[in-house]
């Protein structure tokens, strides 16, 4: 599942590609046709993100709300006025066509047209987004400090912090030597503050470069990444392999339905 930095990158891309001009919006697949008609031909005013929720704000008020879920993707293409649009491939829920670019959305969990009030309802259910300038970490800390749930579960709970996914969750806890099964109540405020500051910095690196880079330069050697072409991780998808810091075997377990990874020696 894409993590928050991916949504912020998409919002910036869509802003560059489409904002300030009319956008032809359609639903080749048909499932979004009625809603697409409500924004088709309108000028895209701006884009915004909160956590993993992407919003396209159109002139006149309608807002397209997208959540990619596990499988959603946008595919972009360049175009010119004198060449025909590419045939939709697969189940294209929403197609956006501007003067120079088009993009096809496939497989989202949510793709709907809503109004400002409904955007507020969505956002009201979300914790602070580390990549937003208005993020208030005190709000997340208040939830974590009184919780008996494991910190590894709290970090993935979008109502606590919005935008963190499986990679940042496992890697952040490793970088701060925190066992994912330690409860929120047993996290100190110094630990939370250091982890939040680090999370903001790491997600900004992800936002700038499009890759999740979490390994300190002095540890960036030894066993390769979990997948060719990806940056190394400390623990994510490294179960059974040696810890890059202490050599102990990395563990994995299922926590709230998602695999968490950690070093049983480094993390307490």
Which CB atom, from 50 or from 234, has the smaller least distance to Zn ion? 234
Which CB atom, from 31 or from 237, has the smaller least distance to Zn ion? 237
Applying CB under 5 A, the site for Zn ion has a residue count of 7
| HSE-up (13 A, CA, CB side) for residue 83 | 11
> Is residue 75 part of the contact set for Zn ion (CB under 5 A)?
no
Which CB atom, from 89 or from 248, has the smaller least distance to Zn ion? 248
Instruction: Compute the least distance from the CB of residue 223 to Zn ion, in Å.
Output: 13
| Catalytic residue annotation | 2-3, 52, 258
Q: Which residue has the tokens 């602070």?
A: 128
- Nearest position to Zn ion, beta carbon: 243
Neighbours of 167 (CB within 10 A): 22
Residues 244-263 close enough to bind Zn ion by CB under 5 A:
245-246, 248, 263
Which CB atom, from 53 or from 244, has the smaller least distance to Zn ion? 244
Report the alpha-carbon distance of residue 194 to residue 206 in Å, rounded.
18
Residues 190-249 close enough to bind Zn ion by CB under 5 A:
243, 245-246, 248
DSSP state of 249: B
Beta-sheet pairing, 53-58 with 110-114: unpaired
Q: What are phi and psi of 200, to 5 degrees?
A: -60, -45
> Is residue 265 part of the contact set for Zn ion (CB under 5 A)?
yes
Residues 144-183 close enough to bind Zn ion by CB under 5 A:
none
Report the alpha-carbon distance of residue 13 to residue 1 in Å, rounded.
19
> Is residue 113 part of the contact set for Zn ion (CB under 5 A)?
no
Nearest Cα to Cα of residue 56 among 34, 40, 69: 40
Residue numbers at the binding site for Zn ion (CB under 5 A)? 243, 245-246, 248, 263, 265-266
């Amino acid at each position: 599942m894409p993590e928050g930095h991916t949504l912020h990158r998409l919002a910036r891309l869509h802003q560059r590609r489409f904002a300030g001009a009319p956008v032809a919006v359609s639903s080749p697949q048909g499932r979004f046709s009625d809603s697409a008609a409500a924004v088709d031909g309108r000028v895209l005013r701006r884009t915004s993100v909160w956590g993993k929720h992407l919003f396209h704000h159109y002139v006149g008020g309608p807002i397209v709300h997208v959540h990619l879920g596990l499988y959603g993707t946008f595919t972009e293409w360049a175009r010119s006025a004198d060449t025909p649009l590419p045939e939709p491939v697969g189940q294209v829920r929403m197609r956006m066509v501007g003067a120079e670019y088009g993009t096809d959305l496939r497989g989202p969990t949510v793709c709907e047209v809503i109004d400002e009030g409904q955007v507020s309802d969505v956002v009201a259910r979300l914790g602070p987004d580390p990549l937003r300038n208005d993020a208030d970490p005190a709000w997340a800390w208040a939830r974590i400090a009184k919780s008996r749930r494991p910190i590894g579960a709290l970090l993935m709970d979008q109502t606590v912090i919005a935008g963190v996914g499986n990679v940042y969750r496992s890697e952040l806890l490793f970088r701060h030597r925190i066992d994912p099964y330690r409860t929120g109540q047993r996290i100190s405020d110094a630990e939370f503050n250091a982890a939040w500051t680090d999370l903001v910095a790491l997600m900004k690196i992800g936002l700038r470069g499009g890759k999740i880079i979490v390994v300190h330069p002095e540890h960036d050697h030894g066993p390769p990444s979990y997948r060719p072409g990806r940056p190394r991780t400390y623990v994510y998808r490294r179960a059974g392999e040696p810890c890059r810091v202490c050599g102990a075997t990395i563990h994995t377990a299922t926590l709230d339905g998602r695999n968490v990874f950690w070093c049983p020696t480094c993390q307490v």
